[in-house]
Amino acid sequence: MAAIRSRACRLFAKAVGEIRVSNRCVSHFVYTPDASSQDGDTTRLNLFQSINAAMETALKTDPTAIIFGEDVGFGGVFRCTIGLQEKYGRDRVFNTPLCEQGIAGFAIGAAVAGATAIAEIQFADYIYPAFDQIVNEAAKYRYRTGNLFNSGKLTIRTPCMAVGHGALYHSQSPEAFFAHCPGLKIVIPRGPVKAKGLLLSCIRDQDPCIFMEPKVLYRAAVEDVPNGEYELPLGKADILREGADVTLIGWGTQVHVLKEVAEMAESQLGVSCEVIDLVSIIPWDKETIFKSVCKTGRVVIAHEAPLTGGFGAEIAASIQEECFLNLEAPVTRVTGWDTPFPHVFEPFYIPDKWRCFEAVKKLKEF
């Protein structure tokens, strides 16, 4: 009996010893900072640190600025508000109960009364109870009061997009729901440098803004961020790579996927891609997009959100309206599928580099 047991143990140890552990790459993208480096006074920061810096600037320069949301006091579940309550006090940086509708309504009230209200919705997947307040109230306040009142001093920040294991309720990209609402601005940064400047612009903007932060980039995106305060313009897209054959359009995490696709297209197909980060969903930079598509004649729009009614649909409709005679092929969208965001099937769901590359290949052969 003992002999059998010890033989079994030896065999087991042998089997375990022969298991090779391989490095599995679980991320569908590789973060690459912009080619142009920042000169001068910079610090190497990741995305949540740069967002923290922008909020600190707001608190420092604007005595009416307040930050609130679930768990922001101790630093927030993604550390974006770390240190702010200690420095600026509980009356300016405070926790709210678990009540998204209440948070949004409260934020509108604070904003209309003159405070620069920066509200956090813990995950974009949870923004829907606040949808009525944002769409029916915040977006329409200036319009329905004849400019007597407005909620322009409101900024809502929320983590969004796929993170590898988020599943139904920690991975969503709800930008399209809000794009359908005049009166709002929606901004999605691709990295720390953009985030710091864009968030400050949103906070200081005269209209209610939703700042959606790709959560997978909080730690993955690291670059040299200028130390001083700076604002970046809203409604302006960035051309990250110039090209002649195909225009690739994306935002947030997807921008980094598209940059890699452009490299693959160059080396494997000899196709030169122009990569554009839309940056602002509304208002969106039609001029830059149309100019690019008129030049290349072929375009791929990629986003994680589902296909039907995704913001790619709006861009596609507008492109075919304005650039019809310049198009060499139909406008292509590579997007999440029309299902709830899955858990274990995430790698098949997101518009990864292989699906986008395939789209570029089809366009070339059209």
Interface residue list for another protein (CB under 8 A)? 70-71, 73-74, 77, 95-102, 125-126, 128-129, 168-169
| Residue 343 a catalytic site member | no
Find the shortest distance in angstroms from Cβ 11 to another protein. Answer: 35
Annotated catalytic residue within 100, 175, 223, 274: 100
C-alpha angle with apex 233: 276 to 162, nearest 5 degrees? 50
C-alpha angle with apex 311: 259 to 282, nearest 5 degrees? 95
Our CB check for another protein shows the closer of 17 and 97 to be 97
User: What is the spatial order of strands in the sheet that 116-120 belongs to?
Assistant: 93-95, 65-69, 116-120, 154-160, 209-214, 185-187, 280-282
| Residue 100 a catalytic site member | yes
Annotated catalytic residue within 28, 70, 120, 170: 170
Find the shortest distance in angstroms from Cβ 176 to another protein. Answer: 18
**Cβ proximity of 208 and 184 under 8 Å:** yes
Our CB check for another protein shows the closer of 170 and 196 to be 170
Our CB check for another protein shows the closer of 95 and 326 to be 95
Residue 282 backbone dihedrals phi, psi, to 5 degrees? -135, 135
* 3-class state of residue 33 by DSSP: coil
Question: Hey, how many other C-beta atoms are within 10 angstroms of the C-beta on 41?
Answer: 9
Find the shortest distance in angstroms from Cβ 37 to another protein. Answer: 34
Our CB check for another protein shows the closer of 169 and 366 to be 169
Find the shortest distance in angstroms from Cβ 117 to another protein. Answer: 19
Our CB check for another protein shows the closer of 157 and 215 to be 215
In angstroms, the Cα distances linking 324 to 4, 125, 145, 240, 297 are: 77, 36, 40, 24, 9
Task: State the amino acid at position 271 in one-letter form.
Answer: V
Find the shortest distance in angstroms from Cβ 174 to another protein. Answer: 12
* Residues carrying an active site annotation: 100, 170
